[in-house]
Amino acid sequence: MLWWLMAALFGWLAFREIYYGYVPRPGFDRPNPESSVPYAVVLALIALAFAYIPTRYWFFERGLTEKARALSENSMAHVHCNTMADTIFDRNVFAAGHAQFETGRIVFQYPWCARLMDHVKRPQRPSDEELFSMQIFAHEAMHIRGERDEAKTECQAIQRFARASMLFSISEDIARVNGMAYFNNYYQQRAQHGEMSSQYFSPECAPGKALDERLFDSTWR
């Protein structure tokens, strides 16, 4: 919201600068002869710069919503990227992401949408946070798909990590390498990181074990 307010403020200043170059101000007989078009252009560019970030996120959210619907097979799914202010006042502030089963709403806390954007830009060399951002997307989509148990949801998401990545036009080979990197490293560490993290882990989440769905496009196929 702050970005839009700043964009509106500078846009209004640019408009005022041009407007009073042609129309007299209240109490004056003639337009302002000192009105500067270059100054108005600078103000307009600043307004556009402030509008760029929320506009970029708005388009990204729309793309995430389409992909979440495809992955979850639920037409109610829709994704929102929280700003820093949104995150501070979110009841689930300590969760990287969360989903509302009844409404299909998926929320990414700040700054995880940005990390996912970074991952999509350079999938060949993802950081740990970028890998985790893709897993958040797949995990919350599985909640919207209907699974509530965290360990089962996480395992379903891992098996669809490659599928989720390919929805972002990441090649299949890279998608599988990244998915297995998450599974072999970050996921295995969950069992050792305390109760909050371990609730997402199950020893049965592995190829050929009880939680293996044997998907035709499984990440660990």
Helix residue ranges per DSSP H, 73-171: 84-88, 112-121, 128-145, 150-159, 161-167
Closest among 134, 140, 141, 96 to 116, alpha carbons compared: 134
User: How much is the pTM?
Assistant: 0.85
| 33 falls within a domain | no
Domains: count for the chain: 1
Q: For residue 10, is it within any domain?
A: no
Instruction: Answer whether residue 184 is part of any domain.
Output: yes
Domain holding 181, by residue range, is 57-198
Quick check: is 137 in a domain?
A: yes
Say if 29 falls within a structural domain.
no
Q: What's the rounded Cα separation, in Å, for the pair 110 and 94?
A: 10
Per-residue pLDDT of the chain (221 residues; tens, 9 = 90+): 676 788 888 888 888 777 777 767 776 666 666 667 787 888 888 888 888 888 999 999 999 999 999 999 999 999 999 998 889 999 999 999 999 999 999 999 999 999 999 999 999 999 999 999 999 999 999 999 999 999 999 999 999 999 999 999 999 999 999 999 999 999 998 877 666 678 999 999 999 999 999 999 999 98
- Note whether residue 91 is domain-resident: yes
In-domain check, residue 168: yes
51: in domain: no
